[in-house]
A = this chain, B = another copy of it.
Amino acid sequence: MADEGVKTTLLDELEKGPWPSFVKEIKKASETSPVCDDLLGQLELSYEEKKGHWKHGGIVGVMGYGGGVIGRYSDVPEKFPNVAHFHTLRVNHPAGWFYTSDALRTLCNIWERHGSGLTNMHGSTGDIIFLGTKTDELEPTFADLTKAGFDLGGSGSVMRTPSCCVGQARCEWACYDTMKLCYELTQTYQDELHRPAFPYKYKFKCAGCPNDCVASIARSDCSIIGTWKDDIQQDDAAVAEYAALGLDIQKDVCDNCPTKCMAWDGKKLTIDNHECVRCMHCINVMPKALRPGKERGATILIGAKAPIIQGALLSSVLIPFVPADELLETLKELTGRIWEFWSEYGKNRERVGELIQRVGMANFLDAIGLEPTPEMVAAPRDNPYIFFQKEDGKPKDGDGQ
C-alpha cells in the first residue's frame, strides 16, 4: 500500500493533463509493492534537487549469464532503504511485441512476485524491462521466467536482443519475414546474447521495407532492411481511383519522388523502375495502387550507433540485395566473419561501425571476404590519398636518386 506519508508535491503535478501519467503508474504499483513508495520518495528528491540519485553501476546478474540485468543502487539508501538495490531485468520480448492477455498476466504475476511491479513496455532496444528489484530476487525471477518460457535479453558487451517491425504479420509491404528472422537470429545466438565475449554491444534490427519502422538504420550495428529488385507492382485502376478521389498525383506523388522517375499524364502513371531507388514514397501514398515488386529480399547494412564517442553513425550498405529465402544463411555466414574480425581487431568499447571507420571499409571488406561494389558508397573518394597495395606497385630497392 502506498504510504500515506510520502510527499510527492512536485510529482503530483505530473498526474495532471491528458497524457497517461507515469506518476500514476508508480502510485498504482505502490499499492501492491512498498518499494515504489521509496522510488516515489527518491524521485521527488531528484525533482527537488534537479539531480539523479542512483549510483553508478554495480555488477549483478543471474548465474551463468553475463548480461540481462542492470545493477542499480541508490545513493541515499538511508532515506529510501527499499530502493537501496533497484536492479532491472531485461526480458527478451517476443518478436514483433505480440502478446496474448495470458502471456501478459504471466509476466505480471512473476514481476509482482519478485519485483517492484513496474515495467517498461518496452525498453529502447526492445526488451520487456522489469524495473527494480533486489539482488537476491534475480535468480528466482529468472527461474520463474524461464519456466514460463521467457528468457533474459542482452546487456553489456554481448549481442543485444534483436528486434523487428511487425512485418508480414500485419504489413503488406514486408519484403521478408522480419519476425521469423528476428526470432531465428535470437535463437541462433543465445550464447552470444548471454555471455559477453565481444569488444562492445552488437545490435540487430530487422525492418521489412525501407520505411524502417524499427529504426534499424539508426540504431543497430547490423540493419536488415527489406527491399525488392524488380518493378513496383502497379494497379492502374486503383491509381485512377486515387486520382478520382482527389489525390494530386503529379504534385503529391511524382514531384516527391527523389529520382523523378515517375510520369503522370492525367490518366496513366508511368514509373521508370530502372531509376527507382525504392524509397517507398509513392507506395506509401497509394497503398492500394502500388506495391513492392515480387522479387523480394533485403539490403544488409552495417554499423549504426549512438554518438559516444566518435559521433553517431547510420548503418551503411554492406550487401545491396539478398533474396528473402537466403537471408538467414547469408547473415549467419556474414555475421560469423564480422564477429571474428571485430573480436580480434576491435578495441575495448569499439562498436563495429567505429572499427570500420578506423581500419577503412576496404580493409574491412577484405577481412570479411566481400568484394567492393559502388552501392556501398554515396560517392567515391574525393581525396587523392590512396593506399596503393604492393601487388599493384612494383617495389624497388635502392638508395633513391
Contacts and interface: CB of A to CB of B under 8 A. Distances in A.
A266 to B, nearest CB: 16
A384 interface: yes
A64 interface: no
Contacts of A311: 382-383, 385
A307 interface: yes
Contact of A401 (B75, B383, B385): B75
A312 interface: yes
Nearest to A384: B307
B312 A382 contact: yes
A278 to B, nearest CB: 23
Interface string A365-401: 0000000000000000011110000000000000001
The 5 closest A-B pairs by CB, nearest first: A311-B383, A307-B383, A307-B384, A312-B383, A75-B401
A180 to B, nearest CB: 35
Given A307-B383, A307-B384, A311-B382, 6 more contacts: A75-B401, A307-B385, A311-B383, A311-B385, A312-B382, A312-B383
A382 B312 CA distance: 8
8 contacts: A75-B401, A307-B383, A307-B384, A307-B385, A311-B382, A311-B385, A312-B382, A312-B383
Contacts of A312: 382-383
A385 B383 CA distance: 26
Nearest to A306: B384
A378 to B, nearest CB: 15
Contacts of A385: 307, 311
A241 B167 CA distance: 56
A251 to B, nearest CB: 12
Contacts of A382: 311-312
A312 B383 CA distance: 7
A174 B127 CA distance: 63
A126 B24 CA distance: 74
A324 B75 CA distance: 64
Contacts of A383: 307, 311-312
A29 to B, nearest CB: 28
Nearest to A56: B401
Contacts of A384: 307
Interface string A195-218: 000000000000000000000000
Interface in A314-365: none
Contacts of A307: 383-385
A75 B401 CA distance: 9
A155 to B, nearest CB: 23
Nearest to A382: B312
A183 to B, nearest CB: 34
A312 B312 CA distance: 24
Interface in A59-85: 75
Nearest to A55: B401
Nearest to A310: B383
A203 B55 CA distance: 56
Interface string A40-69: 000000000000000000000000000000
Interface string A124-140: 00000000000000000
A401 B75 CA distance: 9
A83 B401 CA distance: 19
Interface string A92-131: 0000000000000000000000000000000000000000
A54 to B, nearest CB: 11
A49 to B, nearest CB: 12
Nearest to A309: B385
A241 B383 CA distance: 45
Nearest to A255: B260
A383 to B, nearest CB: 5
